[in-house]
A and B are shown apart, each in its own frame.
Chain A
Amino acid sequence: MKHPNESQLALFAGGDLGFMDRWRVKQHVSRCSSCESEVQALRAASKQIHEIAGEMPGDLNIDRNWDRLAEEMTGNIRVGLAAGEAIARFDRPSSNVRPRRLGWNAGLVVAGATIVFATAFWINIPQPQKDHLVGALGKIRTERLGKVITNHPAATAEDVVLEASSSGIQVKENGRTLSLVHPPADLVTVSVSMRGSAGVRYVDADTGQVTTNRVYYAEQ
């Protein structure tokens, strides 16, 4: 036969067990003399405490304040349980409650602003800087993503480039440009030196002077 433990017997003695436990312990105590004597002892002790408390001054009477303390504790426990439930519901929203769309709206606003900014930037950026940007992006594509197109290193806008045409000459570097232009002339000669210079020669119509404009690489 399995005896109820000490806590169950104490609660039974005070009438604080639940219905099923109380019935089960009561059945056991009615057949078990040792447990019955234990219950009797607990009830005697409880009675003795109540008698001692009754002799205290009125404002310290435990018996009178006991119920009030129990009500306050019960109330506090209920408040705590209600708060816990509320927090748990906040952390794990129910699946049948639709989430608010604030995140998507914010994303759309940011995306729209980005598009407007990028468009304005692209329209206003000078062509050399645009070339530089395209070249840099292309470099990322070919070098960082590993999509190799050729065995040879491709020239990008970052390289120094000399350009010579009958309308003028220029040196381009990192999206910056230095151009030497000349007035309209009949006999214009373009020349390029592999040492790193490009030139345009023309005859000035006003002065008759033969003028040669050149641009150079940095190292010369």
Chain B
Amino acid sequence: MPSSKTAIARALLPVFFLGVSFAGVAPKIDFPKDSPVAVLGADPGDSSETPRGGAMLVDLHTALTLRNSSQRHIRGITLLVTAQDVTPGGKGSVTVNSLDIGPNETFPIRVDLRLLRPLQAGSGAPVQIGLDGILFDDLSFYGPDKLSSRRIMTMSEYEARRDRKYFKSLLAEGGQQKLKDAMTASVAHSTDRPNLDVQMVRGGRATNFEPEKNVQFAFLQLPDSPIEPIEGMARIAGNEARAPRLEVKNKSERPIRFLEMGWILRDGSGREFLAGSVPAELKLAPGQKSQILDNTTLKFPQRGGSQLGIEGMTGYVSSVEFSDGTVWIPSRADLGIPQLQRVMAPSDEEQRLVQLYVKRGMKALVAELNKF
């Protein structure tokens, strides 16, 4: 008769050889003690941990329930997700913008992630979830800001205010019909906008087959932009673009500490798409010029039809942060430039309002616009 140890070993054999899932994978949630949001609960949902050959596949689906314990309205929040066993130093974040969470109100945040980590990794929680930052309605900020959340959420809040103001003006000028037309146009624009898969590799080229050439940037000049792009170049090989080099000038009267350039690529058939953005932290005094260099490679994998062949590039200034913390973003008039309109994604707020209109109708949209 087999011993109890043998019976346990036999029972566990399928776990190792057939990949039976373990349940009960829970992240470690670590918020600062003085955090303006409190964690009320964390539902592990369908999380599981499954052996896959020599590794462990962790599927984690958590819904956090948070409460605003401050006296201000929360506009945005960023959670920092780390898995040191998996990608030492590599990390992820979950940001929710365009919020309006009043004092003592609760709200959920979903974290869905998948890890492939070695079997010999530590036995503790595979993932830690922490707080990187909270943006309030007065643009004040709380948090360690390891991921530059303050700037990202502030930009998003500026865009939200710009777009709410724009849609409110449409409602005031042309009533619900004009607002409805704008919503319909936004939905159509989102549907038509090309959305490509992207791979990004730090350093050298991702493949070695296509001949490489230097391609000059063309620039979209936005009239009230504080930055003037002067010239630029990047190396192009087939469906890869790398090492952008841009020269810019501060044409405003205030010093600038951060700017971001949008990067539009054009293929052989004349189709354009937004490849990515080239950010730069710098100290740029009024009238001063500076170069932005990067050694990253972007690759656009073949999806469906023929491989993408990059033929041309266009750059534009997508955001600027002055030394005093205020920011500049393109106006709604700038976004009306056809080339920008074709490729740029709507702001977080516009996307939220469109979704609200599609799901709940015009009445809910108007009520939302009238809130603040």
Comparing A19-27, A68-76, A169-177, the segment that makes contact with chain B is A169-177
CA distance A90 to B96 in the complex (A): 84
Of the candidates A155, A195, A201, A203, the one whose C-beta lies within 8 Å of that of B297 is A155
Tell me, yes or no, whether A5 is within 8 Å of chain B by CB.
Answer: no
Provide the residues of chain A in CB contact with B99, threshold 8 Å. 209
Chain A residues with Cβ below 8 Å from B345 are: 189, 191, 201
Contact (Cβ within 8 A) A187 B354: yes
B244 at the interface (CB under 8 A from A): yes
Interface string of B100-117 (1 = CB under 8 A from A): 000000011110111111
Q: Mark B69-108, 1 if CB is under 8 A from A, else 0.
A: 0000000000001010011111111111111000000011
CA of A149 to CA of B246 in the docked complex: distance in angstroms? 30
A213 touches B94 (CB 8 A): yes
Partner of A171, one of B87, B190, B205, B297: B87
- Establish whether residues B196 and A190, one from each chain, have CB atoms under 8 Å apart when the complex forms: yes
Q: How far is the CA of A110 from the CA of B111 in the complex (A)?
A: 49
Tell me the bound Cα distance from A207 to B296 in angstroms: 36
Hey, which chain B residues are within 8 Å of A171, CB to CB? 87, 90, 92
| Contact A213:B54 (CB < 8 A) given known A173-B87, A178-B115 | no
Residues in A neighbouring B98, C-beta threshold 8 A? 209-210
Q: Smallest CB-CB separation from A153: which chain B residue?
A: B204
Q: State whether A176 touches B116 (Cβ < 8 A).
A: yes
Decide yes or no whether B55 CB sits under 8 A from chain A. Answer: yes
How far is B208's CA from A194's CA once the two chains are assembled, in angstroms?
Answer: 21
- The distance in angstroms between the C-alpha atoms of A175 and B87, with both chains bound, is 9
Q: How far is the CA of A198 from the CA of B159 in the complex (A)?
A: 20
Whether A181 contacts B110 in the complex (CB less than 8 A), given A159-B202, A166-B197, comes out as no
Report yes or no: A155 in contact with B54, Cβ–Cβ below 8 A: no
Look across to chain B and name the residue whose beta carbon is closest to the beta carbon of A168: B114
> In the complex the two chains form, is B54's CB within 8 Å of A208's CB?
no
A84 contacts chain B at the CB level, 8 A cutoff: no
* Count of CB-CB pairs between chains A and B under 8 Å: 212
**Bound complex: CA of A173 vs CA of B87, how far in Å?**
6
Q: For the complex, give the distance between the alpha carbons of A175 and B115 in Å.
A: 11
Task: Tell me whether A103 is interfacial, beta carbon within 8 Å.
Answer: no
A83 within 8 A of B: no
- In the complex, chain A residues whose CB is within 8 Å of the CB of B296: 194, 196
Q: Does B200 contact A (CB under 8 A)?
A: yes
Alpha-carbon gap, A169 to B117, bound state (A): 17
- Distance A208 CA – B86 CA, assembled complex (angstroms): 31
Question: Which chain A residue shows the least CB distance to B274?
Answer: A191
Contacts of A195 in B (CB 8 A): 279
Q: Confirm or deny: B218 has a beta carbon within 8 angstroms of a beta carbon on chain A.
A: no
Alpha-carbon distance A218/B147, docked complex (angstroms): 11
Beta-carbon contact of A155 and B203 below 8 Å: yes
Interface size on B, residues (CB 8 A): 73
Q: Does residue B326 face the partner (Cβ distance < 8 Å to A)?
A: no
List residues 99-113 of chain A with CB under 8 A from any CB of chain B: none
Contacts of A125 in B (CB 8 A): 53-54
- Residue A117 is within 8 A (CB to CB) of chain B in the complex: no
B148 smallest CB distance to A (angstroms): 8
Residues of A within 8 A of B354 (CB): 187
Q: A35 within 8 Å of B by Cβ?
A: no
Residues of A within 8 A of B277 (CB): 191-194
CB 8 Å contact bits of B41-69 with A (1 = contact, 0 = none) = 00000000000111101000000000000
- A146-170 interface bits toward B, Cβ cutoff 8 Å, 1 = contact, 0 = none: 0001101111000111111110111
Q: How far is the CA of A212 from the CA of B202 in the complex (A)?
A: 22
| A179 nearest CB neighbor, chain B only | B114
CB of A219 closer than 8 Å to a CB of B? yes
The answer to whether A178 and B200 have CB atoms under 8 Å apart is no
Please indicate which of the listed interface residues B98, B294, B348 has the most CB atoms of chain A within 10 Å of its own CB: B348
Q: Mark A199-217, 1 if CB is under 8 A from B, else 0.
A: 0010111011111111111
A219 touches B200 (CB 8 A): no
On whether A192 and B205 interact (CB within 8 A), knowing A182-B112, A218-B87, the answer reads no
**Which A residues are in CB contact (< 8 Å) with B362?**
none
Does B275 sit at the interface, judged by CB under 8 A?
A: yes
- Is A183 an interface residue, CB under 8 A from the partner? yes
B93 & A213 in contact (Cβ 8 Å cutoff) = yes
Cβ of A191 and Cβ of B53 under 8 Å apart?
Answer: no
Nearest A-chain residue to B160, judged by Cβ:
A210
Q: Are A179 and B206 in contact (CB under 8 A)?
A: no
Partner of B204, one of A155, A170, A205: A155
**With A and B bound together, what is the CA distance between A165 and B294 in angstroms?**
22
A-B contact pairs, 18 of them (CB 8 A): A126-B57, A153-B203, A155-B201, A155-B204, A160-B202, A161-B201, A173-B87, A176-B87, A178-B86, A180-B113, A181-B114, A190-B196, A194-B200, A210-B349, A210-B351, A216-B91, A216-B147, A217-B90
A-binding residues in B (CB < 8 A)? 52-55, 57, 81, 83, 86-99, 107-110, 112-118, 147-148, 190, 195-208, 212, 244, 260, 263, 274-279, 294, 296-298, 345, 348-349, 351-352, 354-356, 358-359
| 9 nearest CB pairs, A to B | A218-B89, A192-B276, A124-B53, A153-B204, A150-B208, A165-B197, A179-B114, A189-B345, A177-B116
Binding site for B on A (CB under 8 A): 123-126, 128-129, 149-150, 152-155, 159-166, 168-171, 173, 175-183, 186-196, 198, 201, 203-205, 207-220
